[in-house]
Amino acid sequence: MKILADQNMPLVEEYFADLGSVTRFDGRNAKPEQIEDVDILLTRSVTKVNAELLRYAKKLKFVGTATIGIDHIDTELLDDKEIAFSSAPGCNAVAVAEYVISAIYAYAQETSTSLQGKTLGIVGVGNIGQCLREKLQGSGINLLLCDPIKFENGELQEHIELDNLLAQSDIVSFHVPLVKTGKHKTLHLIDSARIAKLKDNMLVINACRGEVIDNQALLESMQTGKQLELVLDVWENEPNILTELLPFVRYSSVHIAGHTLEGKARGTQMLYQKVCELLNFPAEKQLSDFLPNPVITEVTLQDNFSQDDLGRLAHLVYDLRRDDGILRKSLSEKGFDHLRKSYPVRREFSTVTVKNNGSQFAEQLATLGFTVSE
Ligand SMILES: NC(=O)c1ccc[n+]([C@@H]2O[C@H](COP(=O)([O-])OP(=O)(O)OC[C@H]3O[C@@H](n4cnc5c(N)ncnc54)[C@H](O)[C@@H]3O)[C@@H](O)[C@H]2O)c1
Ligand SMILES: O=C(O)[C@H](O)[C@H](O)COP(=O)(O)O
């Protein structure tokens, strides 16, 4: 059994070595010849799995992407060829939600803004939108939700139409898939007309797909005096992004919102489970077998811990300003993909146990995702 896996997918040898021989490939530059005698293809978001790539594939039984986004995969083609397919829904929901929380707290700190009573609009209430919603329950931030698909099929009761949500929100965070056509198209969901209507100083966070916001229109509007606070993890035309936008962006990163150690490893684990199912092989390996101990494991709250310190605690685990700094310093020299590949270790809030000493913030910290003990 030949298994070909993206070079940036962690733990593939650890999970898959018992199932076959594992070889790695450069995901951005995959060649049809590399797939010819492959049985299992494991990709990330940068590999376009289409008719051209599968041109010589003779043995392919399974394609897995260790991501939730599937805009790089021609799923109809896989269906036609009867090649089993799986993505990894939810693998990185916690990571992206924590990226957004890190952004919101950083912005609040830097601008001396109180988040109490501010309104956050969440556009797309799937794995990530829902996780963000849950983590911010009880935070004092009002939440508005927009997901017409879930609303129409009865899975969400609180939907508010996008333009209303934008008009009422101080912060908006996008968590929709990239869909290029149809009733719920998201390509340039935020186009020049919507950009023009966004409220001054609104915090606009895009950690889904770059193409959801028209980047050229955004640049033109910022160059002509539009005042927005931008947080961009994803960009149109990655890896060749519109660098002219950077001076107008408060926090920027190289499409790493989902790249916690846990998030990436969960993606591999989910594909391992799917392949084991397909091959009727017992899936005995667990994520916990492979994750290293975090560097910080325990924090004790003192009596004077306050609302303002919640952000500080979140940033102890993950401060997205680190990633913004890396991008600004090294993008031109090292390039977008290299920065993604060499991304420093990042862990999730749950890896830190907070000893709460009866603090009134214990519940809120647990809701945010920290492990809380007396
Ligand atoms: N930056 C990163 O590292 C990173 C990591 C993970 C996911 N993503 C991106 O984020 C997207 C969302 O991830 P997820 O795990 O929550 O996916 P998901 O499929 O669980 O949820 C997407 C939600 O968006 C809703 N939706 C679709 N079209 C919509 C529209 N026009 N308006 C409002 N809602 C709409 C869907 O109904 C669904 O509930 C992914 O498709 C992926 O492109 C980026
Ligand atoms: O869709 C997703 O799940 C993410 O965008 C993904 O985590 C990031 O992209 P990748 O690391 O797979 O290139």
**Pick from 242, 226, 233: nearest CA to 323:** 233
Work out whether strand 249-252 and strand 21-25 pair parallel, antiparallel, or are unpaired: unpaired
Mutate to test the pocket of ligand 2, among 45, 261, 264, 270 (most ligand atoms within 8 A of CB): 45
Question: CA 63, 67, 71: angle at the middle one, nearest 5?
Answer: 75
Tokens of 15: 């999970």
Residues 44, 255, 259, 340: which is the catalytic one? 255
180 CA from centroid of ligand 1 (Å): 13
Q: Is the dihedral of CA 233, 234, 239, 244 positive or negative?
A: negative
Per-residue confidence at 308, pLDDT binned at 50, 70, 90? confident
Q: Is 71 annotated as a binding residue?
A: no
pLDDT tens by residue, 102-121: 999 999 999 999 999 999 99
91 CA from centroid of ligand 2 (Å): 10
The percent of residues in the chain predicted with pLDDT above 90, rounded, is 98
184 assigned to active site = no
Binding site membership of 212 for ligand 2 (Cβ less than 6 Å): no
Q: Is 210 annotated as a binding residue?
A: no
Tell me the CATH class for 95-252: alpha beta
User: Atom 25, ligand 1: which residue's CA is nearest?
Assistant: 124
Atom of ligand 2 nearest to the CA of 46: 13
Per-residue confidence at 256, pLDDT binned at 50, 70, 90? very high
Per-residue confidence at 374, pLDDT binned at 50, 70, 90? confident
Do 2-87+260-289 and 95-252 agree at the fold level?
Answer: yes
Ordered by start, the domain boundaries in the chain are 2-87+260-289, 95-252, 298-373
Q: Is 214 annotated as a binding residue?
A: no
pLDDT tens by residue, 228-239: 999 999 999 999
pLDDT tens by residue, 199-214: 999 999 999 999 999 9
Rounded to a whole number of angstroms, the CA Rg of the chain reads: 21
**Pick among 3.65.10.10, 3.40.190.10, 3.40.50.720, 3.40.640.10: CATH of 2-87+260-289:** 3.40.50.720
The percent of residues in the chain predicted with pLDDT above 70, rounded, is 100
Q: Is 147 annotated as a binding residue?
A: yes
Contacts of 124 (CB under 8 A, 6+ apart): 146, 147, 174, 175, 176, 177, 208
175 assigned to active site = no
Q: What percent helix, strand, coil does the chain show, rounded to 5? A: 40, 15, 45
- Residue 73, pLDDT above cutoff 90: yes
SS3 373: strand
Atom of ligand 2 nearest to the CA of 208: 5
Binding site membership of 92 for ligand 2 (Cβ less than 6 Å): yes
CATH 3.30.1370.170 is the classification of domain 298-373: yes
